[in-house]
A and B are shown apart, each in its own frame.
Chain A
Amino acid sequence: MSNAPRPRVKVPKTASAGEVIAIKTLISHEMESGQRKDKDGNVIPRKIINKFSCAFNDQEVFSCDLDPAISANPYFEFNAKVPESGTFKFTWVDDDGSVYEDEQKIEVS
């Protein structure tokens, strides 16, 4: 896969104060496990996203340490409590040091 990993995040646009909302995230990534071999029998080096985190107004909400047993295009579904209007920031860290980010705003009425 030559395409750069593309994150997709689903966060409700609005919520009431203190509501617990569901967040869904997906990022395109091959998650090469380091267990597979190519046609010539050489091991394909591991290249996975090893860390995912979600913060709301710079406060950590949820994070995950990923291992090669996570499927390609890692998907996460989790919850977050929204006390006020603000911004969710999502971060994925690749084995090669690349960082992929996305942001979503939410309005609290």
Chain B
Amino acid sequence: MMMTRRRVLALAAGAAALPVLQLLPTSAFASVEETQKMIDDFAGGQELQSGKLTLTAPEIAENGNTVPITVEVESAMEGDDLVQSVMILAEDNPRPEVATFNFTAMSGTAAATTRMRLAKTQNVVALAKMADGTVYMDKKEVKVTIGGCGG
């Protein structure tokens, strides 16, 4: 094996990257894997469907302290066509969970608005569980100018 200059540089870069990778799991920020685990727990083995659920969030949020988000699910809110709960997750916050809305037939429509914190630019995920077990997902990227989780 020839030890070219290019090869030496590549190896050095690899060695430098290794400790960084080892540090990642202990970082204060939730990983995409942790979010995925929460999605799997919520879905309970159901395949994620798209459509019906709409997550509305600003494309750019100047202040990560209060980012308005709205979830809306197309549903008659009767019988089997009823939304039981909607979970909101943020992939790159210190903790991924944001809120879980629980709806009933008395809600009339499955829609809710709240304000959330975002530590940095990231994907916000919404999941809706229907009475018949179907799970819908929607995802939006929100660009954050000033993070909202304090130092």
Give, as a whole number of angstroms, the nearest-CB distance from A45 to chain B: 13
- Complex: chain A residue closest to B98, CB-CB: A69
**Is the interface on chain A under 10, 10 to 19, 20 to 34, or 35 or more residues?**
20 to 34
Please provide the chain B residues from 131 to 151 with a CB less than 8 Å away from any CB of chain A in the complex.
148-151
Whether A77 lies near B95 (C-beta < 8 A) is no
A67 to B121, CA, bound (A): 19
SS class of chain B's interface: helix, strand, loop or mixed? mixed
Which residues of chain A from 57 to 72 have a CB within 8 Å of any chain B CB?
A: 59-72
Q: Which of B97, B100, B107 contacts A80 (CB 8 A)?
A: B107
Q: Are B151 and A67 in contact (CB under 8 A)?
A: no
| The one of A70, A72, A74, A79 that contacts B107, using a Cβ cutoff of 8 Å | A79
- Please tell me which stretch of B6-14, B16-24, B47-55, B109-117 contacts chain A, meaning at least 4 of its Cβ atoms lie within 8 angstroms of it: B109-117
Bin the interface of chain B by size.
Answer: 35 or more
Question: Is B60 located at the chain interface by the 8 A CB criterion?
Answer: no
Decide yes or no whether B36 CB sits under 8 A from chain A.
Answer: no
Taking a contact as CB atoms under 8 Å apart, the answer to whether B99 and A66 are in contact is: yes
Q: From B88, which residue of chain A is reached at the shortest CB distance?
A: A69
Pairwise interchain contact A62-B102, C-beta atoms closer than 8 A = yes
Interfacial residues of chain B within 64-122, with CB under 8 A of chain A in the complex: 65-67, 70, 77, 90, 93-95, 97-109, 111-118
Chain A interface residues (CB < 8 Å from chain B): 20-21, 33, 35-37, 56, 59-72, 74-81
**Further pairs besides A62-B104, A63-B102: 5, Cβ < 8 Å:** A56-B106, A60-B106, A74-B115, A79-B109, A81-B77
